[in-house]
């Protein structure tokens, strides 16, 4: 929560800088009595949205490459419950970071969602065409789990398949 608050404050600071610099180089006759609040708000919202847009674009570009990885994780028992969806945070060179959400049915009948950060890495450098044959990304590590799964359960499951925390 605090991370998002600090990010929003940093975006507001950058928005002030961008709008201020553009106003410095605008003719005074064009500025007139126009307030900067609207430009500042639009710039701030755009800056806030950039990481979310980045993740959605990365997911759209690389979804097919990582669907098999998620299926392998689910089959190997590395994820509690059924994977609901995933997002690709980044994919650079031979390393990629995914956020996987799985849904678990609790003992009392309710459901909970586990959130995993999965880092996958290729054994060799990919080609310049960025072609990814099926099975090219083995599990490198599951870094973090939240909600209904304890860290001990995640570590024991990872040890069973040869991963590490």
Q: What is the mean pLDDT of residues 78-99?
A: 82
Q: What is the mean pLDDT of residues 125-134?
A: 34
Q: What is the mean pLDDT of residues 46-64?
A: 92
What residue spans define the domains of the chain?
2-52, 63-161
List of residues 6+ apart from 51 with CB closer than 8 A: none
Separation between Cα atoms, residue 119 and residue 155, nearest integer Å: 15
- Assess whether pLDDT exceeds 50 at residue 145: no
Strand partners, 119: 97, 141
Q: C-alpha angle 49/54/55, rounded to 5°?
A: 105
Check: CB of residue 147 under 8 Å from CB of residue 113. Answer: yes
pLDDT digits (tens, 9 = 90+) for 13-26: 999 999 999 888 88
- Regarding pTM above 0.85, the answer is no
How many residues are listed for the chain in this entry?
165
* Mean per-residue pLDDT of the chain: 75
The lowest-confidence range among 71-75, 91-95, 137-141 is 137-141
């Amino acid at each position: 929560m605090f991370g998002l608050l600090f990010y929003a404050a940093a975006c507001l600071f950058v928005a002030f800088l961008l709008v201020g610099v553009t106003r410095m180089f605008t003719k005074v006759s064009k500025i007139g009595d126009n307030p900067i609040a609207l430009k500042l708000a639009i710039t701030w919202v755009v800056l806030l949205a950039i990481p979310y847009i980045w993740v959605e674009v990365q997911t759209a570009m690389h979804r097919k490459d990582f669907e098999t990885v998620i299926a392998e994780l689910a089959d190997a028992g590395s994820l509690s419950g059924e994977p609901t969806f995933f997002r690709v945070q980044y994919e650079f060179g031979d390393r990629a970071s995914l956020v996987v959400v799985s849904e678990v049915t609790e003992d009392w009948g309710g459901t909970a969602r586990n959130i995993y950060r999965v880092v996958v890495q290729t054994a060799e450098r990919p080609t310049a065409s960025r072609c990814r044959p099926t099975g090219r990304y083995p599990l490198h590590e599951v870094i973090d789990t939240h909600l209904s799964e304890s860290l001990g359960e995640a570590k024991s499951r990872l040890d069973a398949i040869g991963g590490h925390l």
